Structure 1
Amino acid sequence: MGIIEFHPGCANNPMCFGPSNYYTIFGVQTSFLKWSLLVTPYSLFLFAFVLLFYFALHILNKKTKFHTSILVRILITLALFVILWFLWSYFLQTTTVY
């Protein structure tokens, strides 16, 4: 199992009701990860953690002499979100049966 894999699916095969082309991250479909990230209660913890991290960077920016632009803080926060999203898909693996 790779980190990101492409699956050709069964786009033009008769009597095949599976998806067409799709990508998986650690074996989990990305469409499932997107919707599970929006629906599950764990996503609230993920969003809250990322927002707290952004505000912590904002407070550190005001209190210290290490000043960063808002763009750098947003990029750091988005990078953290993507890393946590990959960890989310690695530790909370699910399988989709068609």
Structure 2
Amino acid sequence: MSEITPELVHHLGVLARIQLSADEVERLTDQLDAIVDNVAKVSQVATAEVPAMSHPIALQNVYRPDVPEAVLTPAQALQNAPDAAEGRFRVTAILGEEQ
């Protein structure tokens, strides 16, 4: 029996605030059901003897020593700014605008 129903897909669309047409609900129902079936198949094959992995090849980060170096002065940092005031970058206000 199918775990994914058109009602569930419609409900998920409402939760995600996505308006879905009847055709989209039908198509997504089939697609999501196939995904759930495939995940179930993989879950049946997965065993405790096989460790989970996120990447087939072991990765290792390469770090360099964290050594403080010369930094820019405030004047140097602002020298190419299109607009600056009181030692800061001046940008257009965006807070409070309707999105």
TM-score (norm 2): 0.33
Structure richer in helix, relative to its length: 1
Q: Rg bigger for which structure?
A: 2
**Which protein has greater RCO, CA pairs closer than 8 Å, 6+ apart?**
1
